[in-house]
Amino acid sequence: MSQPLEDIRVLDLTNVLAGPFCCHQLAHMGAEVIKVEAVGRGDLARQLGADPELNERSMGVSFLAQNAGKKSVTLNLKHPEGKALFVKLVERADVVVENFRPGVMHRLGLDYDALKQVKPSLVYCAISGFGQDGPWVHRPAYDQIIQGASGIMSITGDKESAPLRVGYPVADTVGGMTAAFAIAAALNAKPRGTFIDVSMLESVLATMGWVVSNHLIAGIEPEAHGNENVTSAPSGTFETGEGVINIAANKEEQWVQLTDHLGLSELRERAEYRTREDRKRNRFALKQELESVLKTKRARDWAKELNKIGVPSGAVLTVPEVLEMPQIAERGFLNGFADVPGVGRDIKVVTTGIKLDGTAPKVATPPPILGQHNEEIWRDLGLSGDEIEQLKKDGAL
């Protein structure tokens, strides 16, 4: 099957998560992604992750998670010969992605204004915490900084626990996905050639449309509501005889089906539960009424029963539990690689959550060791073996 970006070459200058995640999505869509890494150390994510031994090998779990399918070359962008080689790479590339602090590429003489003279059709994407201009442009930014600045933490948890960090790097991931979307769109432009400025802060705020709009349009102060869906009731998490279940009886017919199935149809006649607004005002008393029955069975059993009658439900699972589910295993969401170089064992990584014509896109190669493709890429530019060795001695490669 042909892949949407199979004729596209991407130069990935990024580190850690937002940028590597962006370029990983492009690789899954068929792009040739060349990861241009700093000489001697590479992507910082090579030293990050829960396995100290892999960190020592510069193949940290954080790196493995976002870099399968890419090629790795090492290049010193501060060295004149290194810069010259990068410019040659740009001549043969379609996309450049970087997530340096604003101004770094300009100081190197390799910013968009310089590179578009070499490649007018270049799509250049700069990912940063706050964008390429504005009062906060020079602030350093990591995921948690953006989570705090965006308001995410203020609405995560409940009134007792907020502000609370979301349990994974949501700002980095959303920033990376936003960048991948913008790049894919820019590649479709005619004529091609643009500068994409991705702000992680604005990317996150864009995904908070309901919360932001409730404030801007309805004048509602955003608050932390824990596991309760404030737009409806009963809608949230409920205790069962074993485990926690999510139930979203958001429609009137679902409320009827739920109460009938639980043997609590009399609740519908009570004034405090008669309408959606009534139920929202009395949601915690209603929660107790429902839990008196829900605690007689396991969450997974209730989920099967309620989904069967049309009430959206699901047991709250751990990450290991959901990864073991046939729903994940049978759709080809995970991608496995055997005996990965630099790792010394088999690994599994996630893919995209997308299927194209019934097939989940997957990259064919595991995450690369640092500089694994130096010979291939630099010889493709016309360098001889002796020239490559000399550039290594000079510190350019």
For the annotated catalytic residues, the residue numbers are 172
Gyration radius of the chain's alpha carbons? 25
Both tokens of residue 253?
């017919």
Gap between the Cα atoms of 261 and 311, Å rounded: 10
Q: In what order do the strands lie in the sheet with 235-239?
A: 235-239, 244-248, 313-315
Residue 345 CB contacts under 8 Å (≥ 6 apart), including other chains: 339
Cβ–Cβ under 8 Å, residues 11 and 95: yes
Gap between the Cα atoms of 374 and 42, Å rounded: 13
CA 85 to chain centre: 31
Cβ–Cβ under 8 Å, residues 126 and 105: yes
Tell me 377's DSSP state.
H
- The region that residue 348 occupies, defined by phi over 0 for left and psi between -120 and 50 for alpha, beta otherwise, is beta
Cβ–Cβ under 8 Å, residues 243 and 300: yes
The three-point CA angle 174-247-214 to 5° equals 50
* Element at 91 (helix H, strand E): helix 80-91
Give the CA distances from residue 20 to residues 15, 45, 213, in Å, rounded to whole numbers and listed in that order. Answer: 6, 9, 31
Please say whether the dihedral angle defined by the alpha carbons of residues 7, 370, 168 and 210, taken in this order, is positive or negative: negative
Q: Is 81 in a helix, a strand, or coil?
A: helix
